[in-house]
Structure 1
Amino acid sequence: MDTTIPVLGIGAVIALAMGFNYTNGFHDAANAIATSVSTRALTPRVALAMAAIANLFGAFFGTKVAKTIGSGIIEQPQGVNGLWLVAAALIGAIGWNLLTWWFGLPSSSSHALIGGLGGAALVAGVAVKWSVIWEKVIIPMVVSPIVGLVVGYIVMTAIFWIFRNANPGRVTRGFRLAQTASAAAMAFGHGLQDAAKTAGVVVLALTISGLHEGDTVPIWVLVLSAVVISLGTYAGGWRIMRTLGRRIIDLTPPQGFAAETTAAAILYVAGLAFGAPISTTHTITAAIMGVGATKRLSAVRWSVAGNIVGAWFLTFPGAGLVAVVAWYLTSVFR
């Protein structure tokens, strides 16, 4: 361990990472359960408890995503200033999460974290790995919502066709039950993606401090990240839940099932196959839009969707700017 780095400093950075992780849990809880709650497939508390448990298990499958965040976004900074960089990045991500939560906007916690890392790295004079960001962040950021929109439309169209002659009441009841599974699958994907991202930041801090080598993720880091994000999820995110579950479109149980299944599948492919840290928020929101468009284009409240998309594009620079401010404000302590 670098003797110039006090244990207290490492502990403070890990605590900040868990603070971000907690805000991620309640900020993005809506991703997994808003559709199930809005269609009355699950009560809010049951849905939150289920999502918390699924988040917990999903975290253990996100090591590829953790490696991307821990060693793929910026060059490894050194010494005490390296820890300050990570701290500023986390403050930027937390600040952006709280701001968008307050206004009920389902922005991406993932992109807030990456934006925070990028902003802090630039002001600290640490190289940013733009090629990796382009390949594993920017391209997936654009592609995943498009895929969610298209696949959501296709899945919902298939459901309409398969059940075209079925009793509507039975179909609704059946999909309410099925949403328990699809919401759990979505929450599992959220844990796979988002808890793993925080674990990657902790690994980065440990590596800077000389307490860890390589890009493997210690089991205790995964456990800690999984537990904290699950606690945050159970705390809920009611403002954002209302936006996703009701303001974009009034969902039915078949639509909720189609959106959740679509989004979960995209999260699994991105995380397990490519280690790409995509946004669960972008993915489920796009899937909801695609599902809603099968009814009629006017069924989707595109003005609300437009506000959400605007928040997406502001997330990188917004979180990065907060991180820059945090870097300069903390300079008095360095």
Structure 2
Amino acid sequence: MSSSTQPFAPEPFTVDDYRARMARAVESATGAGLAGVLVAPGPDLVYLTGYQPTAITERLTVLVLAAGQDPVLVVPTLEAPDAERAVGAGALTLRDWKDGVDPYGVAAPLLDGGGRFGVSDNAWAMHLLGLQQALPDTSYVSLTEALPMLRAVKDEHELARLAAAGAAADATYEEILKVRFAGRRELEVAADLADLLRHFGHSQVDFTVVGSGPNGANPHHEAGERVIEHGDMVVLDFGGLLAGYGSDTSRTVHVGEPTAEERRVHDVVREAQAAGVAAVRPGAACQDVDRAARAVITEFGYGERFIHRTGHGIGVTTHEPPYMIEGEERELVPGMCFSVEPGVYLPGRFGVRIEDIVAVTEEGGRRLNGTDRGLAVVE
């Protein structure tokens, strides 16, 4: 196994980085008419503070951000030392609570003004209900609904992480082309993909789609026991996290020489993907990317067989806003990163998808994946 990527050593995020992110979150919340933001353990908490509890339990952990007060992280006492080490001195105030104490009584004074708060999507219902009981005058809305762009615009250090993740995914694809496909189960090729992602620096593998033959017509097919055959089209879609940021790429390969129809469908998807990337520029709407890719596929008669949005944002998670979909009029701005991944799916026969992560720059779109988008022939 070769190693075409260099070990990536990201520049650490600083206390000042986290302070600035939390300040922007408060400013955005105020602009959205919210009293503040409540952040439970998960990607939002990692993004805003750098803290990821080793175990997410029934004990209340919540970051409270509100105008006119310093950020406060409410944590169980037994987790306070880890939180303090992870966040760093001076970024926020820790307020810990011991088992046997009502945690909602500890958090309530921080929300005492009442009002409507944005809450990270993965907050436990029991914690929201506990806060509502302690503070009946409060109400809550999900952050995806209230502040969908909270993590959407990446700074230079985030972009460097995303580029490194993309390069590792590219190296993985180059290596998987060398393995044998015919006569092996989808699960075996998926395991190869996972091993390669880790080899090239991923700490977490989120998905390894291997959709062979008719299974490729299911965009989210889970690799299974099907034995890949000579003559199969095979959709490969894989990614995970490297240095805390995501990769996600798709290529479609063929076992042995493809038919003229298979090449034609692949060419249509490749042209559509290029059109979607070409539509990326500051000031364009998210839906413009979807429209550009979809127009090509529709022109060639496969419009009904493109059955999903053209793209999704990526960052500390592999799927997050913004979404490249009809009806999303939000404007693209430099620093946004998202997938461009049109596909054509012919039920019972085969599917084709081509996907790159694209970063918005002042000049347009910059691909973070650079592998060949042609139809590779594998054994």
The structure, 1 or 2, with the larger RCO (C-alpha pairs under 8 Å, 6+ apart) is 1
Higher strand share: 2
TM-score normalised according to structure 2 size: 0.26
The structure number with the bigger radius of gyration is: 2
Structure (1 or 2) with the greater helix fraction: 1
TM-score, structure 1 as length reference: 0.29
